Amino acid sequence: MYATGLHTKQKVLGTINAAGLRTAKGKPLSQQTFEQMLHKPVYAGWLDIKVWGERKRGDFEPLVSQEIFDTVQALLSGKRVNVMPRLRSNPDFPLRHFVKCGCCNSSLTGSYAKGRSKRYPYYYCQSKNCKDAVRISKTDLERGFVNFLERMQPKPEYVKLFNAIVLDVWKEKQAQSFALGVTLKHHIKDLNQRKDRLDEAFIYEKKIDRETYQRQLDKLNEQIVLSEMQERDNKLETYDVEAVLNFAGHVILNASRLWTEYSSDQKQRLQKVLFPQGVAFVGGIYKTVETSLFFKLLQESDGEKTGLATLTGIEPVHPP
């Protein structure tokens, strides 16, 4: 569940505790225990030998694949983006904790202010010490974000060109991966044959002593494991790249409309994928902290698009 990037650790912990997973003492898992569990290489079949300072492959069946374990480690370290929003408790404010105050870098929060006849939704900076703290109506901030997405949208011809380039690179990478895979298979086969000959020399022919046999066996086993890891890492994920690119292109070209139509949950997932580190807002302007790779590659290089967008109808307004 956690490897999908669609669930927080708290969500997964609640699910497995509800399913009945318990500690050795029969208690539900705590957050600390679950955190340690996600880091343990033993579930992927590895043993950390602290005395030797080494990690060795165990002779037992792993509970999870190496791919899942590596993905989880990448998520835990931040090398891979978890698209699950940090806070999603209030569906009325999808930009809450996503947009940051451009003056003090504090995350904006959202709440309702009491008026004469009804309550009005607002986003505002949480910092009490911020001199130019942001305070803006929900309608204006969210309308501005839609305008911002429209300004960031690349031209359709750029997307088509990008797709064609990626497909060419993918096909070339597939060919390289296949060639390397064949080489690795032959190498692993050769190592296993050498291991068989070593067994023959020690067990049946008695040509070598136990110490020499064990030393050579350990070396061969280590080489086999490393080669198998390299072979696994070399394998490209089996998915329809063209379909993925078409879907990504559809999202990029329709991001503003999709964000408007999506539910609060879907909005937060989409905005985090497009802007992993969130966006900043100051003086009526949205500014990106870090854009998604797709947006970066498709940005025009002539200076027309700069990553900044002005909120229409909010001062200061710059002419187009």
Q: How confident is the model at residue 83 (pLDDT cuts 50, 70, 90)?
A: low
Summary mean pLDDT of the chain:
82
Between CA 41 and CA 47 the distance in angstroms is 7
Residues 116-122: what's their mean pLDDT? 88
Q: What is the pLDDT of residues 153-176, one digit of tens each?
A: 888 888 888 888 888 888 888 888
Q: How confident is the model at residue 302 (pLDDT cuts 50, 70, 90)?
A: very low
Between CA 26 and CA 5 the distance in angstroms is 29
- The domain 2-77 is placed in CATH, from the list 3.90.1750.20, 3.30.70.20, 3.40.605.10, 3.40.50.300, at 3.90.1750.20
- Residue with the bigger pLDDT between 82 and 191: it is 191
Place of tokens 């997932």: 269
| Cβ-based neighbour number of residue 247 at 10 Å | 11
Question: Whole-prediction pTM value?
Answer: 0.55
> Residue 258 pLDDT more than 90?
yes
Please check whether residue 149 is in contact with residue 256, taking contact to mean a CB–CB distance below 8 angstroms: yes
Alpha-carbon torsion, ordered 179, 184, 185, 190, to 10 deg? 130
Between CA 3 and CA 76 the distance in angstroms is 10
Show me where the domains of the chain are located: 2-77, 99-155+244-310, 157-240
Report angle CA 121, 127, 130 to the nearest 5 degrees: 105
One DSSP character per residue, 21-84 reads -B-TTSPBPPHHHHHHHHH-GGGGTEEEETTTTEEEE-SS--SS-HHHHHHHHHHHHTSS---S
Distance of CA 18 to the CA centre of its chain: 26
- Looking at residue 316, its pLDDT comes to 36
Task: Of 14, 6, 7, give the one whose Cα is nearest residue 31.
Answer: 14
- Looking at residue 311, its pLDDT comes to 39
Between CA 86 and CA 79 the distance in angstroms is 16
Between CA 137 and CA 146 the distance in angstroms is 14
- Looking at residue 315, its pLDDT comes to 35
Instruction: Give the DSSP H or E segment for 138.
Output: helix 138-152
Between CA 109 and CA 86 the distance in angstroms is 13
> Residue 299 pLDDT more than 80?
no
